[in-house]
Amino acid sequence: DARHPLLVLQKIAEPTAPLVANDIGLHTNQRVLILTGPNTGGKTVAMKTVGLLALMLRCGLHLPCKQNSRLGWFQEMFVAIGDQQSIESKLSTFAAHIKTLSQIVDDASSTSLVLIDEIAADTDPTQGQALGHAILESLAEKQSHVVVTTHFEGLKAIPFANDQFRN
């Protein structure tokens, strides 16, 4: 029953504003949560909710969720959200995304929370899907906890073959 903190504040200011709570979780052996669905912003909001609540926990703040909810303690958080394109650095949208993902794969560990929005989406879908799969497998092998959003059908199917993944 986790709620995004900004939506909670919006609900207080505007009682008629919608506020959707989410049950988000992984079982003990699972490491990667794959969020899929239509383009309406819910996937990214759910993913950001996880990240914000993890940071709020580290700060000792009240978490907008059910009383008996549990959240892991993460030593570090890595985030790949948004477009990091840079003309100065001669990086296309895709190249910047891959640079960020490469750094995450290098630095992430079993104490990490990794949030990736639309993994490898800015290239050929077949190549992006294969690259996204390899990156997620690498992070799962490192025992990192990952929340990723995607529209790739092949990534949605990984949990049927690998019990470290969940849709």
pLDDT of amino acid 60: 95
- pLDDT higher for 10 or 89? 10
Over the chain, what is the mean pLDDT?
90
Residue 97 confidence class, pLDDT cut points 50, 70, 90:
confident
Distance CA 71, CA 63 (A): 10
pLDDT of amino acid 90: 53
pLDDT of amino acid 32: 97
Q: What pLDDT digit, counting tens, does each position of 24-73 carry?
A: 989 989 999 999 988 876 899 999 999 999 999 999 999 999 999 999 99
Q: What pLDDT digit, counting tens, does each position of 117-163 carry?
A: 999 887 888 999 999 999 999 999 999 999 999 999 999 999 999 99
Strands of the sheet containing 165-166, edge to edge, are 76-80, 112-116, 145-149, 32-35, 165-166
Q: What pLDDT digit, counting tens, does each position of 136-146 carry?
A: 999 999 999 99
